[in-house]
Amino acid sequence: MNTFLLPDLGEGLTEGEIVRWLVAAGDVVAVDTPVAEVETAKSVVELPSPYAGVVEELHGEVGTVIPVGKPLITIGAEGGSAYREEERAGSGNVLIGYGTGESIGSGRRRKPRGSVAVAPVAAGVVRVISPLVRRLARDAEVDLKSVVGTGADGLIVRRDVELAIARRVEHIADESPAPVVDEVVAESPLPVAEVGGAVDSRTGLPELRREQTSGFRKVASATLSRSRREIPEATTWVDVDATALLELRESLRSATDAGPGLLALMARFVVAGLVKYPELNGFVDTERDELVQYDGVNLGLAAQTERGLVVPAVAGAHKLSARGLDGEIKKLMETARAGRLTADELNRGTFTLNNYGSFGVDGSAAIINHPQVAILGVGRIIDRPWVVGGELAVRKLTQLSLVFDHRVCDGGTAAGFLRFVADAFENPTSAFADL
């Protein structure tokens, strides 16, 4: 009998909540059969069984929060047992996107009881055991025949596919047109975990309800608290006439081509600004007392989802055109809404662009996404009176606000970056000519 313990999720995550069981007691499962959907603080993932056999026990009802290392499911060995070869090959974890190490164990692999030995593979045959690895490759349109497996006997494991995806993102700009992505999903309320009714001793008021703090909220709280605690932040802002930017966006549309979205155009200017002011595209190495600047930009985009605020990042954004950024933004937002973001997508950002104007607000003193050192916010674009050429006119105005870590630069650098982006908003055609 084998008990599958909730594996180490990595990225500081210590627990997972059972969202849905995909099997029941008595079911026969094979290696890699999805047995449960588990929600971590990052996303919802399907958890495949590392064993084959008959399901004996499910350790928890839907909604149960299970700590790492505690039993998730017990599988009887009567039907034969086998441990996932990908695990033996060193992926370190069964959760896609939550790898915990790249080392390959030195222990000898056991031959699964009741299984057939794997014969040497002829050249040209793709060696993939995990259906999750196949799905990852399929969703990312990666040709497995072009991937070199680093697992045992040339097995293609998760890290091989992720490496192929990363290399493609670094070297290829997606120039295909994509629908405009300017808004994010409004947050849905958390499910009520417990009905209130008790009277609060301090206020004398009855409690309306109590909600269990989710793993997502716990990690978000810890990250934001650390940012406020460690970063001496400062904020600067400017009102911007975005009329020309909106006109440019409309001019790029056609009956057959939606053109790059407004957020992609904004992102292109932000990336250009970071190349010019790299101090804002780095981190503070407190252990070595050094200020580090990145050679390249992974642009984080704040997105509100049903599970809360997430900040996935477009890798290699400095290499992408406005159309390329539009395509990558679209894919990231769709993945975020589905709750399928990987840890790499969530943690690789070097700077964050927050389009909170989609919520109908003008400004915000945002919290920097630690360990980044700056975040730029864009407010709603609305009609306002503005002086143009000495005459009062109605223009499309927005507000840009930059929150930055005062350890990495002074106000002059921050103001220079903000003014650069603002000028690009106001004269986008000239800005594109200079990029």
- The residues carrying an active-site annotation are 406
Q: Which residue has the tokens 């995550």?
A: 13
**How far, in Å, CA of 256 to CA of 107, rounded?**
58
**How far, in Å, CA of 347 to CA of 88, rounded?**
26
Q: Which residue has the tokens 């997508």?
A: 345
List the one residue out of 168, 189, 190, 186 whose CA is nearest residue 331.
168
CA distances to 96, 113, 114, 164 from 117, in Å: 26, 10, 10, 29
List the one residue out of 303, 280, 273, 234 whose CA is nearest residue 372.
280
Residues β-bridged to residue 351:
299
Q: What is the DSSP string of 158-199?
A: HHHHHHHHHHHHHH----S--------PPPPPPPP-EE--PB
Q: Which two tokens stand for residue 371?
A: 């360990």
List the one residue out of 275, 336, 278, 325 whose CA is nearest residue 302.
336
DSSP label of 145: G
CA distances to 14, 147, 328, 333 from 170, in Å: 32, 16, 12, 19
Q: Which residue has the tokens 């350790």?
A: 59
259 phi-psi bin (left φ>0, alpha ψ -120 to 50, beta other): left
Q: Which two tokens stand for residue 197?
A: 């009714």
Dihedral sign computed on CA atoms, order 253, 254, 255, 258: negative
Residues β-bridged to residue 194:
210
Element (H, E) at 386: strand 382-388
Dihedral sign computed on CA atoms, order 155, 158, 161, 166: negative
Query: At 13, is the secondary structure helix, strand, or coil?
Result: coil
List the one residue out of 331, 281, 371 whose CA is nearest residue 165.
331
Burial of 235 (0-12, 13-18, 19+ CB in 10 A): middle
